[in-house]
Amino acid sequence: MSKPHEVLIRPIQPRDLDDLTRIFMAMYDERDAGSPIHTTLRHDRPPESEITGYFRELIHRSQIGEAAVVAADMDGHAVGFCNIARAGPPALSEVSHVGELGILVHRDHRGVGIGTALLEESLAKARSKFELVYLSVWSNNEAVRLYRRFGFSVCGHLPRMVKRGNDYVDEERMVLDFSKTPAGPGAKG
């Protein structure tokens, strides 16, 4: 089992493209094998090129400063990432002070603190870019607790927002307001 100190948290790079695509596609393997993964996907499996396109765009947005994206690097490979991207594509929108957070860790490397490390680093970076960070998380996901430790609070409960097969899942909307949370060493409690 990997330990968090073997993991390097660093900015996302173009060479991460294949790893990130692989991490994302692995979510489909998990879901289709019946694992309760808490990420909203498509009913069918998207072509890999589509996912690669998404990450290419994300890397680009990171390079032009529209997003704070960090990767967890293990032996030279990305095994997870956290992305805080400007809400709404154009920088001149009335919501450009808001970042939207998304995070993903490969199934083989969960539960060892990588998510915490990713959040710590990306929120530290986001503080100079955004005034608030919002995120959506499945209501039944333990990550809600982790987000709370970083100062997020629930600001909305969205019923039946996701439909997987015949099951519905609610989502929590959470917010972190930097003006109300002092900069510091990250997770509390």
Which residues form the interface with another protein (CB under 8 A)? Answer: 40-44, 90, 92-98, 131-132, 134, 155-164, 173, 175, 177
- CB of 6 or CB of 32, closer to another protein: 32
d(CA 36, CA 107): 12
CB-based burial label for 133 (10 Å; 0-12, 13-18, 19+): buried
In whole angstroms, the minimum distance from the beta carbon of 117 to another protein comes to 28
- CB of 6 or CB of 50, closer to another protein: 50
d(CA 125, CA 98): 13
CB-based burial label for 148 (10 Å; 0-12, 13-18, 19+): middle
- CB of 14 or CB of 89, closer to another protein: 89
In whole angstroms, the minimum distance from the beta carbon of 135 to another protein comes to 12
- CB of 111 or CB of 156, closer to another protein: 156
In whole angstroms, the minimum distance from the beta carbon of 50 to another protein comes to 9
d(CA 52, CA 43): 18
Structure token digits, residue 153: 């609070």
In whole angstroms, the minimum distance from the beta carbon of 1 to another protein comes to 31
